[in-house]
Structure 1
Amino acid sequence: MPPVIPRTTRRDLLAKAAAISAVSALPEVSFASPNDRMKIAFIGTGGRGGSNLQTIAKSEGVDVVALCDVDSRFLTSAGNKFPRAKQFQDFRKLYDDIGNDVDAVVVSTPEHTHAYAAMPALQLAKHVYCEKPLAYNIDETRRLTKAAQKAGVATQMGTQIHASKNYHRVVELIQSDAIGDVSEVHVWVSRAWGLQSQEAAKKNRDISNASSRPQETITPPAYLNWDLWLGPAPYRPFHQAYFPGPKWYRWWDFGNGTMSDLGSHWNDLPFWALRLDAPRTVEASGPPAHPEIAPASMTAVYEYDARDIPSVGRLPPVTMTWHQGTHKPEIWKQGGIPKWGSGVLFIGSKGMLLSDYRKHLLLPENEFKDFTPPEPFLPTPAGHHQQWLDACRGNAVTGSPFSYAGPLTEANHLGNVAYRLGKKITWDKDAMECIGCPEAQPLLKREPRSGWSLG
């Protein structure tokens, strides 16, 4: 067993390691001058896309040169704000027309098209900001991760909470040994959207409720190019059960439910703080899996082996449990911790740390009343978008590059894979397969519809 770095020096070593990492992770492709204006194309201009567009466009030195959306309402609205930008409905045509002329691309489409919208940019060595989750399945996620590494460009997955002061501080506390060795983590989110009774859907404020795939055929609204919206997904006739978003995210054809959506945010914190990567095993439970629709509530248990971390030492094995919807940790049910609606609980050898998006507590509180917190050692970015823009110019390192976001996304997908199979899976990261479980393969990879390819 490799030697364990002494606790008394871990904090200083972490700060030093972070500084070294920041230099070594700078993108290989950057602009000649930090003052160069960036020409950015935006794929997806409504919802999150509209927010990303407005935030990035307000940054200094940014030119919005292209807009793309399958919904003409959003495209027209964005075009009115940026009249000099070229407009497209099909991002494949955007790349054919001006792909070589842009510096960066922002992808804010439904997750089933993330990889197909982002991959051409990486193949052209363009910087990419892609909304979460990184891709629809593990195969697409792995391919994007590898393409980003090969391109050497600045990438960022759109988990804006990753740049928050609270998340940074929690990571500093965990990595500074505030609660000792962490062997158990619980993550819970209260959103209960997906397959459930009409009564439960109403109680849980679910915006859509269905128990089977719609059979009726409805004409798509005139403003929507439904065929382009489907993209690489299997053909399904238009129906209001899928559109507008985020209705689509509960259908396995187009999304992966709350696990891949909110898991991108909430599982991010333990993944980062504990330096997790690929789990060894995953086991899930919940209502019987539906072939078409993701569950409203479920639990997934991840077992992570001990990790040898350069400049840190050997970190102990960790069990991380995801609780979704009505499912909650036992310690929460029994009143052992404050009953926050959603949260992350780290259980260590010296105590516990409870966090949500904006606040955190060291528990039991009376045992930490004389606790001296560590000095901050993680650089706090001006914002998630600005951090990416700075990285594009070679002046910063992104907090959620595809090299980090890829393994996080894969782990979230594995929770759904275990749930849909109804069995415990053992994961082989290198072979990208569930050991002794060939029936998992269709859940890891799917062939795209005719006319679509990742190249």
Structure 2
Amino acid sequence: MMKETNSSRRNFIKSAALAAAGFMIVPRHVLGGNGFIAPSDRLSIAGIGVGGKGHGDIMSFHKSGKAEIAFLCDVDDRRAAGTVKNFPKAKYYKDYREMLDKEHKHIDAVSISTPDHGHAIQTLAAMELGKHVYVQKPLTHDVWEARVLTEAAKKYKVVTQMGNQGASNDGPREIREWYEAGLIGDVHTIYCWTDRPVWPSGIPWPTQTAPVPNELDWDLWLGTAPNKDYIEKLVPFNWRGWWDYGTGALGDMGCHLLEVPFSTLGLQYIKDVQATVGTIYVDEFKRGYFPESCPPSSHVTMTFPKTEKTSGPITLHWMDGGIQPARPDELEPNEVFGDGGNGILFVGTKGKLLADTYGDNARLLPTTRKESVEQKYARVPGKASGHYAQWVEACIAGYGNMEVSAPFEISGPLTEAILMANLAIRGADLKVDNKFPGRNLKLLWDKDQMKVTNFDLVNQFVKREYRQGWDINYNI
């Protein structure tokens, strides 16, 4: 009894002292009931680029029920207005650098949904402060940047996720299970295609400038890109068709389509790549040449080395601008090929597999063929919509404690492959002394040195020159 009394007295004194000081941390099990979320189970998020897709991202984090939208940042007050209205308590900034400098102690994680040319510098700034990051696809604008963020994720040990929501769908997991069950044998060839671009491409840079809207900070919008005058209709969407800012059809849809073969076959870095590009005619007799603009169509052939899941190298064809592969013989004449505008076709030694964007609606060919296999991979609750909550939960759990669908260790090499395809496209469109020396070449890629070994001119696009004052300083 004496020991028990003394123990109780010590516990009382300890409890009283803590009460006097004020509780700063409350155990989850104490406050976890009745729908109450403990302070340690809420993620304080800052958004960079909060209009358009950024608005959707922020709202999806909020719907998880475990995220506090604490800070918002956008260079365009018009685009940000809706999100700012929805979260009136969130402090608003125009310059992400100022926000991170002043508020980093109050931020757990950062969501980035800006044009492609800003992704890497903004993401790296957050990671260097130890913040978890969610970045819209494509992860980066340049090949070198993709490698930087892949390495930085390992260095800074933060939870990362790229915004290719289809990676959280059931389809990619089902396809993986079918393949590993041997239903189509050893895959050797894959086709991915899209009806993009749906923005102006293959055009000259406009000669007529326009006044910058009062709500837009044009200098901040340019960021790492070369200093140019503002033009009409570039913002908020048509920047996708210009190499200074966007990454074309591959950047827009490649992450959604190539993710399926990457996750199914364990693909990593390209061995070689070649491309052909479509052009437009400015009049009946003259072909246009506008290297600042992404081409209206392309066909890229990528070769990947053998992986643990393949019996040999993989050839992956990418097609955009309405170009599609030949319809497989197993598909009936009136059956839809892919989803009509986009699709994925696996060709194996024992059969073929067809899917839509994000790996949805996967079916064996012919479509009368029905097989069932045991579920091997856990599904993400909420599927594509659950992509956001999955990241929020993983951030709360801490680095290495919970799986996410598109961490940089996966989405980094995936993005690098997509940007290597763009490298081939730009190489095919290089004009020197009125000739195109990069056309009809197979570019050989040294992944360790990060350079094309047989056509040096194209290496200028591996890592672009950043505008003065906007450099990325990181050694890999």
TM class by shorter-chain length? 0.7 to 0.9
Rounded to whole Å, the distance in 2 between the matches of 1:210 and 1:279 is 26
Q: Which residue of 2 aligns with 1:217?
A: 209
| C-alpha displacement of 1:447 | 2.0
| Mapping 1:250-265, distance limit 5 Å | 250-265=241-256
Unmatched 5+ stretches in structure 2: 1-25, 29-36, 280-288, 429-440
Structure 1 residue 166 corresponds to structure 2 residue 171: yes
Residue 331 of structure 1 aligns to a residue whose secondary structure is coil
Amino acid of the residue matched to residue 110 of structure 1?
P
Rounded to whole Å, the distance in 2 between the matches of 1:115 and 1:430 is 20
Residue 161 of structure 2 aligns to a residue whose secondary structure is strand
Q: Which residue of 2 aligns with 1:328?
A: 324
Q: Could you tell which deviates more after superposition, 111-120 or 429-438? A: 429-438
Q: Which residue of 1 aligns with 2:375?
A: 376
TM-score, with normalisation over the residues of structure 1?
0.84
| C-alpha displacement of 1:152 | 0.9
Q: Which residue of 2 aligns with 1:202?
A: none
Structure 1 residue 141 corresponds to structure 2 residue 146: yes
1:446 maps to which of 451, 461, 464? 464
Structure 1 residue 405 corresponds to structure 2 residue 397: no
Residue 354 of structure 2 aligns to a residue whose secondary structure is strand
Q: Which residue of 2 aligns with 1:437?
A: 455
Rounded to whole Å, the distance in 1 between the matches of 2:252 and 2:136 is 10
Q: Which residue of 1 aligns with 2:234?
A: 242
Q: Which residue of 1 aligns with 2:258?
A: 267
| C-alpha displacement of 1:169 | 1.1
Q: Which residue of 1 aligns with 2:285?
A: none
Q: Which residue of 2 aligns with 1:276?
A: 267
Rounded to whole Å, the distance in 1 between the matches of 2:68 and 2:406 is 24
| C-alpha displacement of 1:207 | 4.4
1:418 maps to which of 421, 424, 433? 424
Residue 253 of structure 1 aligns to a residue whose secondary structure is coil
Residue 215 of structure 1 aligns to a residue whose secondary structure is coil
| C-alpha displacement of 1:333 | 9.8
Residue 84 of structure 1 aligns to a residue whose secondary structure is coil
| C-alpha displacement of 1:32 | 9.2
Q: Which residue of 2 aligns with 1:11?
A: none
Q: Could you tell which deviates more after superposition, 208-217 or 294-303? A: 208-217
Rounded to whole Å, the distance in 1 between the matches of 2:74 and 2:27 is 31
Structure 1 residue 108 corresponds to structure 2 residue 99: no
Rounded to whole Å, the distance in 1 between the matches of 2:328 and 2:472 is 44
Q: Deviations over 1:401-453 (max 9, x none)?
A: 01110100110111111122123201111111111322122111012112213
Q: Which residue of 2 aligns with 1:65?
A: 70
Amino acid of the residue matched to residue 389 of structure 2?
Q
Q: Could you tell which deviates more after superposition, 169-178 or 208-217? A: 208-217
Structure 1 residue 232 corresponds to structure 2 residue 234: no
| Mapping 1:317-356, distance limit 5 Å | 317-331=313-327, 338=335, 339-340=337-338, 341=340, 342-356=342-356
The number of aligned residues is 404
| C-alpha displacement of 1:319 | 0.8
| C-alpha displacement of 1:336 | 6.9
Q: Which residue of 2 aligns with 1:362?
A: 364
Residues 214, 68 of structure 1: CA spacing in aligned structure 2 closer, same or farther, 3 A cutoff?
same
RMSD (Å), alpha carbons: 2.1
Q: Which residue of 1 aligns with 2:34?
A: none
Higher relative contact order at CA 8 Å, sep ≥6: structure 1 or structure 2? 1
Amino acid of the residue matched to residue 142 of structure 2?
N
Amino acid of the residue matched to residue 346 of structure 2?
F
Residue 190 of structure 2 aligns to a residue whose secondary structure is strand
Instruction: Quote the sequence identity (%).
Output: 35
Amino acid of the residue matched to residue 362 of structure 2?
H
Q: Which residue of 2 aligns with 1:12?
A: none
Flag the structure with larger Rg. Answer: 2
Amino acid of the residue matched to residue 444 of structure 1?
V
Q: Deviations over 1:113-172 (max 9, x none)?
A: 001111111111110000000001011111111111111111000001111112221122
1:428 maps to which of 446, 449, 452? 446
Amino acid of the residue matched to residue 454 of structure 2?
G
Unmatched 5+ stretches in structure 1: 1-30, 194-205
| C-alpha displacement of 1:332 | 5.3
Q: Could you tell which deviates more after superposition, 31-40 or 399-408? A: 31-40
Rounded to whole Å, the distance in 2 between the matches of 1:178 and 1:209 is 40
| C-alpha displacement of 1:208 | 3.5
| Mapping 1:1-150, distance limit 5 Å | 35=38, 36=40, 37-150=42-155
Rounded to whole Å, the distance in 1 between the matches of 2:232 and 2:255 is 26
Amino acid of the residue matched to residue 375 of structure 1?
E
Q: Check conservation: 2:201, 2:294, Cα contact below 8 A.
A: no
